[in-house]
Chain A
Amino acid sequence: MHRTGELYGQYKTLDQQKETATLGMWIFLVTEILFFGGLFLTYAINRHEFPTAFGVGGNMLSLPLGFANTIVLIASSFTMAMSVWSAQTSNKKLVPIFLILTLVLGTVFLGVKVVEYKQKFDHHLIPGHGFDITYCSKNPAACQLEGKDLADEIKEIKEGVEAEGGVVALNAHAQLYFSLYFGMTGLHALHMIVGAGLLLWLILESRKGRFDANYNTPVENIGLYWHFVDIVWIFLFPLLYLINRHLA
């Protein structure tokens, strides 16, 4: 079935038809809020229990990369909103342009995430057998640490070991942090990948000129999904990257 702007029998007006679709999308997003909410809850309890290990873990992340990615994602939300506007005002040529920009920014975000994951892998920060939070302080050359950064790192690990009562405890609890880091950012990235697929479909359809002021429900609703994924990141960024930055 090829949906266009025609009115289906169960609705009185096109307006009501679109409103229904948007309401349905929001109900889906509410389930997504609760889905991610469970992870945020797990994070809150564990951070409350092991504040030192979470602080040490958080400072192992790259702030410049996390900050840049936040800006990229916010920009992609803007271009997504602009593609909705283009459709609503029947600027049929602009719709795919803004959608492609959104897809490019989303892909940049995922690419930076790959670089970050690789870095964590190299630094022995993947939870499991090889996990070692002290790796970078012991092998500064492998982590490109030197001078003040290295001194800060050694000091932080030392204080972490003292606060947690041993390097084994610090490693165990820092693994909790990194499990949550990979779980939460991984689930977020999975949503981005799904979003990229949806955008690809929208781009192909919008190039046929399907979306205009009369019919733009798919652009609007995939836009809602994209903005929701942006909101999740707006919370993930301070919670994962900025826990203890004043100590670093």
Chain B
Amino acid sequence: MSENGHHVVSPKIYATILVALLVGTWLTVQAAKIDLGPWNIVLALLIATIKMSLVILFFMHGKYSPKRTQLVIVAGFFWLAIMLGLTMTDYKARTPEPSRTATPPAIEIQRV
């Protein structure tokens, strides 16, 4: 705690997070080179989410923020989940439009 009551995160923690983020970056590249079928994207997003959480909790002091601020952070992702989730369910539940399945009309492109 500093004199005005704010939590000061030590450089040691920042350095640890830096190393974790670099390892995560290396890991996500290695994971992408293995064929996991539909699980490639799941693993990539999982690693990215863990990296994001580390940045928010430590670099952005989310862990040490007052409850009110933490609520705003969580609410932000809650709204994002609504936007992504509800749009995707709506999208998945529809029959495809003809334009999505048909081949686009051939356009002659003049190249120089």
- Please list the residues of chain A having a beta carbon within 8 angstroms of any beta carbon in chain B: 14-15, 18-19, 22-23, 26-27, 29-30, 33-34, 37-38, 40-41, 44-45, 49, 63, 67, 70-71, 74-75, 77-78, 80-82, 85, 88-89, 129-130, 132, 165-166, 168-169, 172, 213-214, 220, 223-224, 227-228, 230-231, 234-235, 237-239, 242, 245-247
Contacts and interface: CB of A to CB of B under 8 A. Distances in A.
Contacts of B4: 14-15, 18, 213-214
SS class, residues of chain B in contact with chain A: helix
Given A23-B68, A168-B103, A213-B3, 4 more contacts: A78-B14, A82-B14, A238-B45, A242-B29
Given A19-B69, A230-B55, A238 B18 contact: no
A38 B80 CA distance: 9
Nearest to A220: B61
> 9 closest Cβ contacts across the A-B interface?
A30-B76, A242-B32, A238-B44, A246-B35, A245-B32, A78-B18, A88-B8, A172-B104, A37-B80
A245 B40 CA distance: 10
Interface string B79-96: 110011001100100000
B66 interface: yes
B60 A227 contact: yes
B77 A85 contact: no
A45 B59 CA distance: 32
Contacts of A129: 109
28 contacts: A15-B4, A19-B66, A22-B69, A26-B73, A34-B83, A37-B83, A41-B88, A44-B88, A49-B100, A67-B29, A74-B21, A74-B22, A78-B17, A81-B59, A85-B9, A129-B109, A168-B104, A213-B4, A227-B59, A230-B59, A234-B52, A235-B52, A237-B28, A238-B45, A242-B29, A245-B29, A246-B35, A246-B36
B41 to A, nearest CB: 8
Interface string B23-60: 00100110011111000100011011001100110111
Contacts of A88: 2, 6, 8
Nearest to B51: A234
B59 A77 contact: yes
Nearest to B44: A238
Contacts of B44: 238-239, 242
Interface of B: 2-6, 8-11, 14-15, 17-18, 21-22, 25, 28-29, 32-36, 40, 44-45, 47-48, 51-52, 55-56, 58-61, 65-66, 68-69, 72-73, 75-77, 79-80, 83-84, 87-88, 91, 100, 103-104, 106-107, 109, 111
B104 A169 contact: yes
Given A82-B14, A234-B55, A242-B28, A23 B76 contact: no
A214 B79 CA distance: 35
B90 to A, nearest CB: 10
Contacts of A18: 4, 6
Given A41-B87, A85-B11, A234-B52, A23 B3 contact: no
A30 B88 contact: no
B44 to A, nearest CB: 4
Contacts of B10: 85
A230 to B, nearest CB: 6
Contact of A245 (B33, B52, B66, B75): B33
